[in-house]
Chains A and B, each alone.
Chain A
Amino acid sequence: MAGTAVLGRLTWLVAEVVETRSETPHVRTLVLDVAGWQDHRAGQHVDVRLTAEDGYQAERSYSLASPPGEPPAITVERLDDGEVSPYLVDVAEAGDRFELRGPIGGYFVWEPDGSTDPLFLVAGGSGVVPLMAMIRRRAAAGSDVPATLLCSSRRFEDVIYREELDQLAARGDGLEVVQTLTRAQPPGWAGYSRRVDVELLREVAPAPDQSPRVFVCGPTSFVEAVAEGLVSLGHRPGRIRTERFGGG
């Protein structure tokens, strides 16, 4: 559990891109081959370091999308004013290499541990990435702990992992996937069509008396709104774990 694992020094490892997968027009998954990689836990992240020919370096953190036991994969959203994400989304191809260290983080993690408390996962945009690692972990482990994933995206084409999530939800093993599209909806859209608010959380989240374990990841304003909404509905703050990415 959190805090008990003793890690050695996290050295920089060489990651080679073995596969790229376009998830949305702005988001791509890179599957990596990392010599010396130690297995990770669902929810952890890595630091990526790029080096230019003149020695200039840039580092950023990215959540792992793959479940434990599988090769590390990161899913990256291109930020228009970004320095590292445009390279990872638009430039890097199979065979390209960069440096990476991890896995990192011992708090925003989930493992099937026998608890039957439901899982409530709330994603704003690419905040779904570490939550997807949890969902994949849950499926791979054959866990039937009740789980609800609430994803907020702008448009239908921006929904990351949409087809895989539909397939996982169709397995009937207790996973429910709820989508809300905040900016535009396709004809006949059956999901939600607004930003996540308290009323939406009341309808979608497990009741507080079920003591759900909650993970929220997204932009700061999204995480603030969701966490405050859940607290106002009676969920215990100590059950709500958050991860935020700031600014842009």
Chain B
Amino acid sequence: MGIVSRGFSGRGRSGDSERLPPGQYRTRDFPVLSAGPTPHTPLDEWSFTIEGGDQPVRWTWDEFRALPSETVTKDIHCVTKWSKFDTEWEGVAIDILLESVDHDHAYAIAFCDGGYTTNLPLEDVTDGKAWIAFAYGGEPLDPEHGGPARLLVPHLYFWKSAKWVRGLSLRDEDEPGFWETNGYHNYGDPWREQRYWGD
């Protein structure tokens, strides 16, 4: 326990503690965190590409949307301390996309419109742990929240769920992405409070 701050009592202790990682608080809003302006890529110019296999595999928007998708309900945790429970997404599992790629890599970098990148071990985006989400709460994903499509990796801090995602680059070696080179943790497990370098 830290030092007690005189006169601080805090809000009523919620019954959320089992679902709240350390240092998080629950919000009902859906705040936004972005490093720059929101890109607006028309769907007819949008594609999703996986690089690093024998050759790049690319889906147009229509091809991507023709893939089998699923609806998942997840708690999400932002490094800026808010958590939001029971968010409902529809997306294509990364497992489905990787079925088309012949490779033996262990890491991925997600790349996005606007130049954002984030790095992930492949084992964290396979076996039903990550999706390319295109709908939120039953509606097309708002550009502010990453539309037309964003990565969804709900078990890691939400900056790993890259907005405006356009592809994955598969690698042998782990290579830090945008926030990961700007002071934030390379892996980002909220349950171990891996917010910053050295956590």
**A interface, over-half SS:** mixed
**Chain B nearest CB, measured from A232 CB (Å):** 10
Report Cα–Cα, A55/B2, bound state, in Å: 8
B144 contacts A9, C-beta separation under 8 Å:
no
Count chain B residues whose beta carbon lies closer than 8 angstroms to a beta carbon of A: 43
Chain B residues within 8 Å of A8, by CB: 197-198
Complex interface residues of chain A between 102 and 144 (CB less than 8 A to chain B)? 104-108
Q: Is residue A58 contacting chain B, with contact meaning CB distance below 8 A?
A: yes
Tell me whether A237 and B114 are in contact (CB under 8 A).
Answer: yes
Measured CA separation A245–B2 after assembly (Å) = 26
Residues 11-51 of B at the A interface (beta carbon under 8 Å): 11, 13, 23-25, 27, 29-39
| In the complex with contacts A50-B10, A99-B2, A220-B31 CB distance below 8 A | yes
A134 to B74, CA, bound (A): 39
B35 and A242 form a contact (CB under 8 A) = yes
A224 B38 Cβ-Cβ under 8 A: yes
Asked if A98 contacts B32 (CB within 8 A), the reply is no
Q: CA–CA, A242 to B80, complex, Å?
A: 14
A188 interfacial contact with B, CB 8 Å: no
Flag whether B137 is at the interface (Cβ < 8 A). Answer: no
Q: Would B7 and A92 count as touching, CB distance under 8 A?
A: yes
B75 within 8 A of A: no
Within 8 A of B (CB), among A204-230: 220, 224, 227-228, 230
A127 to B: closest C-beta gap in Å = 13
Among residues of A, the one whose C-beta sits closest to the C-beta of B9 is: A52
Partner of B182, one of A47, A49, A106: A106
B66 at the interface (CB under 8 A from A): no
Chain A residues bordering chain B, tally (CB within 8 A): 52
**A4 to B: closest C-beta gap in Å:** 9
A52 touches B8 (CB 8 A): yes
Determine if A3 is an interface residue (Cβ-Cβ < 8 Å). Answer: yes
Docked-complex contact B37 and A240, CB < 8 angstroms: yes
Interface check A187, CB cutoff 8 A: no
Other-chain contact of B7, A2, A91, A108 (Cβ < 8 Å): A91
Complex formed: what's the CA distance from A97 to B11 in Å?
A: 19
| B55 touches A (CB below 8 Å) | no
Residue of A7, A59, A106, A108 touching B81 (CB-CB under 8 A)? A59
Main secondary structure of the interface of B (DSSP, over half): loop
Q: If A105-B183, A227-B36 touch, does A245 touch B31 (CB 8 Å cutoff)?
A: yes
Asked whether A35 is an interface residue with its Cβ less than 8 Å from the other chain, the reply is no
Question: With A224-B38, A238-B115, A246-B30 given, is the CB distance from A98 to B197 under 8 Å?
Answer: no
Q: How far is the CA of A105 from the CA of B198 in the complex (A)?
A: 14
CB-CB contacts below 8 Å: A36-81 with B: 47, 49-53, 55-61
B157 at interface, CB cutoff 8 A: no
B199, closest chain A residue (CB): A9
- Contacts known (A51-B1, A58-B10); A220 close to B183, Cβ less than 8 A: no
**Residue A164 at the chain B interface, CB threshold 8 Å:** no
**A contact residues around B24 at 8 Å (CB):** 59
> How far, in Å, is A103 (CB) from chain B's closest CB?
9
Q: When A58-B10, A106-B182, A246-B82 are in contact, do A240 and B196 touch as well, CB less than 8 Å? A: no
- Once the chains bind, are A53 and B4 in contact (CB under 8 Å)? yes
Contact residues in B for A238 (Cβ distance below 8 Å): 36, 115
Chain B residue numbers with a CB within 8 Å of A97 are: 3, 5-6
Q: How far is the CA of A234 from the CA of B183 in the complex (A)?
A: 30
How far apart are the CA atoms of A9 and B27 in the complex, in Å? 28
Alpha-carbon separation in the docked complex, A71 to B78 (Å):
29
For B30, list chain A residues within 8 Å (CB).
246-247
- Contact in complex: B81, A60 (CB < 8 Å): yes
Check A224–B144 contact: CB distance below 8 A: yes
* Sampled A-B contacts (10; CB under 8 Å): A47-B195, A51-B4, A52-B10, A61-B80, A96-B5, A98-B8, A108-B35, A224-B144, A246-B30, A246-B31
Among all A-B residue pairs, the 10 with the closest Cβ atoms: A246-B31, A247-B29, A9-B198, A227-B37, A106-B182, A3-B181, A51-B2, A59-B23, A98-B5, A220-B32
